[in-house]
Amino acid sequence: MTTAPQLLSIAGMSCAGCVRRVETALNEVPGVTSASVNFASQTAAVLGSSSLDSLLSAVAQAGYSAVLFQPESIREQEEAARSALHLAISRSGIALLGGALLMLDMHLGLLPGLERQLLWSGIGGLVLLVLLLAGGHFYVAAWTSLRHGTATMDSLISLGTGTAWLYSMLVVLMPELVPEASRHQFFEAALFVIGFVNLGKALETNARSRASVAIQKLFDLTPQYVTRLLNGAEEVVPLEIVQEGDELRVRPGEYLPVDGVVISGISSVDQSMLTGESEAVVVETGGAVCAGTLNIDSSVIVRAEAVGSETVLGGMIRLIAEAQNSKPPIADLVDRISSVFVPAVVGLALLTAALWWFFGPPPQLSFALVTAMSVLIIACPCALGLAIPMSIMVGLGRAANQGLLVRNSEALERAANIDLLVVDKTGTLTLGEPRVTAMRGLNDESLAIALALESQSEHPLARAIQEFCLGQSIVAADVAGFSNHPGGGVSASLGGETVALGNEVFLQSLGIKAFPETEGTVSYLVRGDQVVGYFVLEDQVRDDAARLVRELAVHGVDVVMLSGDRPEVAEQVANGVGIATFRGRCLPEDKLGYITEQQAQGRIVGMAGDGINDSAALACADIGFAMGGGTDIAKESADIILLEASLRGIKTGIDLSRSITRNIRQNLVAAFAYNLLLIPVAAGILYPFTGILVDPAVAGLAMALSSVTVVFNAGRLRFA
């Protein structure tokens, strides 16, 4: 049985290389099956049997810190984001102000020359103080990485700015050791780098927190306090003490705090924040309601059936948190590159310095120092680490807002490439709410047997027959040995003989040979070896089914219907919605076989269904879509759950997955192109043609802008 992963909050990560190291440390813990780290959300999802203490210890040994992930309220998240933004801007402002003053002196000559050692020693001390105040977190993280034998973005920044400060102090205190032409101070460059990097981090953190809060707002919809009924009296209590079975009063304008059943009252409920469906739903006594939906019209009393993390809303929060930490296959390549990126950059910086020192024009030392610092700073892999997780984080929030619950990010990448969609009929193309329109050959005794059989099945046809029998005031017979046959029907034993209810194919497998002439969707009742009668049922095709088929065809996706119903019924529905390829009397293994056959031909197959008989096909397909009103096993087998009872979610899911995949590629191209193009520029490749070198301060600004570009490009998905 699959267990839910443990979610951890990780502190101290600064780039994609950190992600790789934390993942490696967690995966090496005994009992860990898999570990996935999300740089954008600063979290890790760990699957396996290892203890929390061993996971936290492994992260600490890798040079980072971790605690068990605890969801925060929107207010707490916004306050934390606001504090982080103010701190980063303050750090940036201090450094940029100091750098600007020194830059102003370079152009206006306000300060004496470097020969005034005492004055410039004091200035150097002040610069060091500002560097520690504004960038101390970089140096601490770099030292921690060094002690653990690793290198990160913080290492590059620390090397670049530290070298600039040390060289400047050398020029101030012992100028005789430096060639006269190279006696320049780089205090302002060090300050500008720290200032620009902090500014980029501020913008990046702000955008990341907005994406996180946007997701949280979808689910932070339950009130802190509720009105509970106890012994006929009302009392206001905290939601966390409410238990299953408690009765709660929910007034107009209040959000439903629990999943439950209305036991008194009638009202309209807005489910849009949960399902994406804008039209309010009328609920009355006996109707089910979900936490997070809005009561509109009048007061109702609800009996709690699920609270907290056990609600549909709680499950969504957990699944989305897990999905954010999952990685599409392309992320493995990025992780492998990131693991060697920082050491490679340090090597490039040393090589650049050596080339300028031995082959560059005078003053060689100045050129070597400037280019090496620029390479170190401009190559920081922040953008690379953010490219994929930011797109996934924003994309999953967008999906949830449109009524789609995505189980993992791999599903997003696969859904973008679907070229064949296999659909079930009942409950998928149709509403899944069939009605018994006629019966033949059945008396009250037969109806009692039918009620006993169908009372133990979740199939839509079974529910229709059950409701019909109850409407006739029938009392269920006492049957034993009930057995469900997915895609076929149900059977049991009554008085030593077999009784069964289902379709013709299933009943033929039980040895039944003679069937009456029928039309439409029928369910035969068998007793012993004889058909005693049958029900005739009708289902209504979904209004948006035909439009979905047309829109998918335009986007290069073929639609095939596989139904367990009779061929003539399948043909009627298929023709009505414009599906050219269809099959009737399909058992679960037939659907499974068709999908594997198409996959063997190289097709990327999606499957949409809602019943137990669809679960194997949903699990086998490259991407499974489960209807929100379907069975639990179907939802567990699917990759994407359509919370709204509408097929348009399939088209939305495919379109959104393509947008997310395209956005990820854009981010990766931008991040890689940035490094591939600007590292040579920082190394001075254009100097022979332009006579210009990249100043380390400009390198810091460019590095910050690369991260901000990736973050804001991912933010565009909110409006996709």
| Catalytic residue ranges | 424
302-to-251, 275, 287, 298 alpha-carbon distances in Å: 11, 20, 9, 13
Q: Are 450 and 457 within 8 A, CB to CB?
A: no
Tokens, residue 138: 């970089």
> Can you tell me whether residue 392 is helix, strand or coil?
helix
- Here the contacts of 620-628 (C-beta below 8 Å, separation 24 or greater) are 620/592, 620/595, 620/596, 621/422, 621/595, 622/414, 622/417, 622/418, 623/411, 623/414, 623/415, 623/418, 625/649, 625/650, 625/653, 627/427, 627/428, 627/432, 628/275, 628/403
Strands 497-502 and 521-527: antiparallel
CA–CA dist 590, 593 (Å, integer)? 5
CA–CA dist 327, 316 (Å, integer)? 18
328-to-159, 389, 620, 698 alpha-carbon distances in Å: 33, 10, 18, 34
CA–CA dist 162, 154 (Å, integer)? 11
CA–CA dist 720, 707 (Å, integer)? 21
Which residues have CB under 8 Å from 234's CB, separation 6+?
Answer: 227, 228, 249
Closest CA to 137 of 97, 85, 197, 80: 197
> Can you tell me whether residue 305 is helix, strand or coil?
strand
Q: Are 599 and 605 within 8 A, CB to CB?
A: yes
Closest CA to 446 of 523, 519, 518, 509: 523
Strands 300-306 and 281-283: unpaired
Strands 32-38 and 233-238: unpaired
16-to-383, 412, 704 alpha-carbon distances in Å: 8, 21, 15
Strands 288-289 and 259-264: antiparallel
Q: Looking at this protein, which amino acid is placed at residue 483?
A: S
CA–CA dist 369, 352 (Å, integer)? 9
Q: What is the number of other CB atoms lying within 10 angstroms of the CB of residue 4?
A: 12
Tokens, residue 382: 């922040």
- On the 0-12 / 13-18 / 19+ scale of CB atoms within 10 A, 75 is exposed
Closest CA to 579 of 415, 429, 460, 426: 429
What kind and span of H or E run contains 192?
A: helix 187-219
Q: Are 428 and 608 within 8 A, CB to CB?
A: yes
Q: Which residues of 149-180 are buried (b: 16+ CB within 10 A; e: fewer)?
A: ebbbbbbbbbbbbbbbbebbbebbeeeeebee
Strand boundaries in 376-509, DSSP class E? 404-406, 420-423, 435-440, 480-485, 489-494, 497-502
CA–CA dist 331, 713 (Å, integer)? 18
Closest CA to 14 of 271, 294, 380, 369: 380
